[in-house]
Amino acid sequence: MFIGYLTTIKKPGELPELIAVACAYKGIPFVYLNPKDIKINEETVRGRIFINNKWKRATVPLPKFIDISPYCFKMPREKLEFLRKNTVLSDTGENRFNKVNLQKLLLKDKQFKELVIPTKSIETFEDVKEFLDRYNQIILKPISGQFGNGVISIMKEEESFLLKYDDTEERINGVELKSFYNDKVNSKQYIVQKYINSITKGGYPFDCRINMEKNEKGNWVIARKFIRVGIGQKVVSNISRGGGVSDTKPFLKANFYDKHHQIEQRLKNIGKKLPNKIEELRNITLVRMGIDLGIDSDGSVYLFEINSSPGTTQLRDQAALLRTDYYSYVINKLSIS
């Protein structure tokens, strides 16, 4: 029984190659796919299989399980519906929610409401002013943004506003703030949030990423949790733009000395429980998840966002081994049913 790996990336990268090698070791047939490789009429796929350390084209039956990238949900609807009806997908793309709706849903849960950052969808400039008056410092984020792109920090001072975005920092007055809003935010889908002071002792923004995978028993496990520091950046900790990475324990000990044990345990508990909650809210079974968290200066932990297709640059080996373990679980489950 073939396992499919469906992505919009044309050529297999390092992760799928590692998965292919691990699958071969376990005796699991593995095929790398793009949406164009799916042949509806024949109920086959013409993908790539890894043989003798090389990727070769091959036509095989439609895999009974396909590990799908969320970016593939933009494929022609006919193909997506065909897959939903004729195979098991790692994510069907149904019942998804944006950042605002996720915050609202978690706010209703006693176990997770402390993770929620005060958030509101921006409809007018008045929404920005309201949050500035209430919290003094705020963050504006695109609802569908990725990699920290488009994130803006605004802090209210006595007679001006401190504005930070990308690698820029400037002080502006109220008129200039309204003009900036009209140019950068108005007519776009943005949210406004209370600012979480997730800053290192050196003054750089950071967040914590918890990469979750499922194991051979179908249970969520932490593949890796680590800190991303935005060295030289003003607002976000985007390591693709010159940031750095640290394991949680040494970082927390250096920046939250008297609270580092408590915070470390909090991160572990979030990794243990939150993925199950997300599956419950979406009424779906998932395979992987990235949990992005901020840690305020007082040690409080807040949820920035959930990523359904997290990067694996910092944990490719672990991700590949866990993914193939989960494939074994899926094969056994499908064989029994």
Assess if residue 204 is contained within a domain.
Answer: yes
Output the pTM of the full model. Answer: 0.88
List CB contacts of 27: < 8 A, sequence separation 6 or more: none
Residues 124 and 236 placed together within one structural domain of the fold:
no
Q: Are 73 and 107 within one domain?
A: no
What is the predicted pLDDT for the residue at 146?
Answer: 62
Tell me the helix, strand and coil percentages in the chain, rounded to 5. 35, 30, 35
| Residue 84 forms part of a structural domain | yes
According to the model, what pLDDT value does residue 231 have? 65
Residue 24 lies in a domain: yes
Does residue 111 sit in the same domain as residue 220? yes
Return the CATH number at 294: 3.30.470.20
- Residues in the chain with pLDDT < 50? 239-240
Helix (H) or strand (E) holding 137: strand 137-142
Determine, yes or no, domain membership for 142: yes
Residues 137 and 266 in one domain: no
Range of the domain at 290: 99-116+199-314
Residue 207 φ/ψ, nearest 5 degrees: -145, 170
Residues 182 and 269 in one domain: no
- Residues 145, 265: one domain? no
**Judgement on whether residues 210 and 253 belong to the same structural domain of the protein:** yes
Strands (E), the chain: 3-6, 30-33, 38-39, 44-51, 54-61, 65-68, 88-89, 119-121, 137-142, 152-156, 161-165, 168-172, 190-194, 206-214, 220-229, 244-247, 288-295, 301-307
Q: Note whether 69 and 156 are same-domain residues.
A: no
Q: How far apart are CA 88 and CA 334, in angstroms?
A: 9
Q: What is the pLDDT of residue 52?
A: 93
> How many domains does the structure of the chain reveal?
3
| The residue type at 21 | V
Domain boundary, last residue among 146, 168, 194: 194
**What was the pLDDT predicted at 230?**
80
Residue 323: inside a domain, yes or no? no
Residues 82 and 51 in one domain: yes
**Domain for residue 324, yes or no?**
no
Neighbours of 26 (CB within 10 A): 13
pLDDT of residue 144: 73
In this structure, what is the dihedral angle of CA atoms 109, 111, 115, 118, given to the nearest 10 degrees? 30
* Interval 25-83: pLDDT, tens: 999 999 999 999 999 999 999 999 999 999 999 999 999 999 999 999 999 999 999 99
Last residue of a domain, one of 140, 161, 194: 194
The reply to whether 28 and 148 lie within a common domain is no
Q: Of the candidates 204, 299, 316, which has an alpha carbon nearest to the alpha carbon of residue 258?
A: 299
322 occurs within a structural domain: no
Q: Give me 223's structure tokens.
A: 């593949």
Residues 214 and 251 in one domain: yes
111 and 69 assigned to the same domain: no
Within-domain flag for 105: yes
